[in-house]
Structure 1
């Protein structure tokens, strides 16, 4: 596979958190050389204003929209040239831009601790990273995308590794809102051999697919350097067992990696581990 690394340092909080330094940290850990990837450069995706738009409820909505357009253009060009984009976020707000740039008709393999199915009213933060899955399935706030309708059919979305919502921390509305066609496989069903089985089952077929990895799918005991850690996640072995069949399926259009907070990794050891795991999965 001919991988091309594209940096999309979008931190949708607009507060300058460490996600927007993640691409540089992973490059410094030698990711491109380890994977054998080409350098596709950087997309202008910075958001520097934490103001929440009163109409959409989204922080920095104009910048989110513009960043999405820029990401989409680069994805279209790379895929059209026969490359496989490896997009380094930033946070999950890069996903709508990526999917806008793909040819129609694909599966989405979405590895995340969270459902990301808030909208502009329900999100406690207003961050587009709370809403990316709702946006791409046409359940999010209007006006974030340049076109109407879903970017991916909900019945082609597989959410893998989320944590069931804790009633003590949530009223459960997000789970109730999620489109029932979306397939949910919680982290509790992706331990050990179950992760391998799930990966192999998903890998069957011929439909192209995009693999989205939010690193908070991992347990904070193995990767604490994320912005919204959730206990009960996967370990590195589970993640590798799940992802290896997906990468080897021959169906993959590309992959995105998000939510590494480089500010929480002062000595670079977590960036080193992420780069090594990605190289083990992706290197020719």
Structure 2
């Protein structure tokens, strides 16, 4: 059974401007207002509530070297989110985790790592692979979440509970970055499969999804950053870049990937950039059409836990 879980965290994002707060934490309630929960309830889904994050602090002027923005709050939220996701998995449910920023991938990774691990299909308009080995500007986990999830970051966020990597690199497939992504060659060398947005457009979403699933294995977590969509389609994101895919292509990706996904996290939609709610309604349409069969083909042990 699908269950909706809100994770309204903006802790991993840089402030839009000095003294301001990113709007991504408002996404779960904006999607609720746009009808997401009602439409999923009609499909039989349950509501698993919310895991609130700590206070966002713009600490750029005071943060010591070697720490990411809002580090303590991010770790705390990841641990509590992992517990809630884990409870859903233990019930045999397939959680739809509504972010929030990409740092919520750490909580999802912890939840599955505690249960023996699954693969990862990471759908994102960026590789999110900034880490201390390739950048002197590590600060925002939202742009570093994939690196942390596969063990390529400071241990404070990449090795919570000594469980690094949360996802094995060889069972991780990334989809959707733009052709000018500066970390793409490193990512290609490190992960099982890496596919740019241009390949989705040229080869078709169904073929790209099949290739990714073959790497991630029979069961995997699905992470979707909505900036994989072109800004002509979805401008209400933190870092819109041209060259993305269209709504039908994302819907097809989800339809193809959802059955073997133990759960999904959806991130970086910013309602502050969607004053009339049109982009929230578009996302509701995409998610409702794409996730109907979420978790339907996941292998389970006798206790209902993905295995």
Q: Is this contact kept in 2: 1:5–1:32, CA < 8 A? A: yes
Q: Mark the CA change 1:96 to 1:127 in structure 2 (over 3 Å): closer, same or farther.
A: same
Distance across 1 between alignment mates of 2:164 and 2:81 = 19
**Distance in structure 2 (CA, Å) of the matches to 1:13 and 1:241:** 28
Alignment partner of 1:44 is 2:57 = no
Q: Distance in 1 between matches of 2:288 and 2:163?
A: 37
> Runs in 1 of length 4+ with deviation above 6 angstroms?
none
Structure 2 equivalent of residue 66 of structure 1: 76
Determine whether 1:230 maps to 2:230.
no
Shift of 1:180: 1.7
Q: Post-superposition shift, 1:181?
A: 3.3
Choose the corresponding residue for 1:210, options 221, 246, 251: 221
CA distance in 2, matches of 1:124, 1:235: 31
- 1:25 and 2:30 matched: yes
2:110 is aligned to 100
Q: What residue number does 1:263 align with? A: 272
Aligned to 1:169: none
- Listed as ranges, the gaps of 5+ residues in structure 2 are 16-20, 294-307
- CA 1:125 to 1:24, structure 2 compared with 1: closer, same or farther past 3 Å? farther
**Other structure's SS at 1:178 match:** helix
> What residue is the counterpart of 1:114 in the other structure?
126
- Change in Cα spacing, 1:203 to 1:116, as seen in structure 2 (3 Å) is closer
Contact 2:110-2:163 at 8 Å conserved across structures: no
Aligned in 2, Cα 1:29/1:158: closer, same or farther, shift over 3 Å?
same
Alpha-carbon shift at residue 38 of structure 1 (Å): 1.0
* From 72, 75, 83, the counterpart of 2:93: 83
Deviations for 1:209-259, whole angstroms, at most 9, x for unmatched residues?
1111000000000000001011100001111122211113xx210111000
Deviates more, 1:70-79 or 1:205-214: 205-214
- Indicate conservation of the 8 Å contact 1:113/1:218, yes or no: yes
Shift of 1:175: 3.5
How many residues were matched structurally? 275
Deviations 1:191-216 (A, max 9, x none): 16521212234445962111110000
TM-score normalised by length of structure 1 = 0.90
Partner Cα distance (1:123, 1:50) in 2: 19
Specify every segment of 5 or more residues in structure 1 that has no aligned partner in the other structure, as ranges.
Answer: 167-171
- Counterpart selection for 2:281 from 266, 272, 282: 272
Could you tell me how far 1:125 is from its partner in structure 2? 6.4
Change in Cα spacing, 1:200 to 1:175, as seen in structure 2 (3 Å) is closer
Contact 1:14 1:48 (8 Å CA) reproduced: no
2:140 corresponds to 1:127: yes
Distance 1:276 1:243 in 2: 12
Work out the CA distance in 2 between the residues paired with 1:72 and 1:115. 23
Q: TM-score, normalised by structure 2?
A: 0.84
Corresponding residue number in structure 2 for 1:149? 164
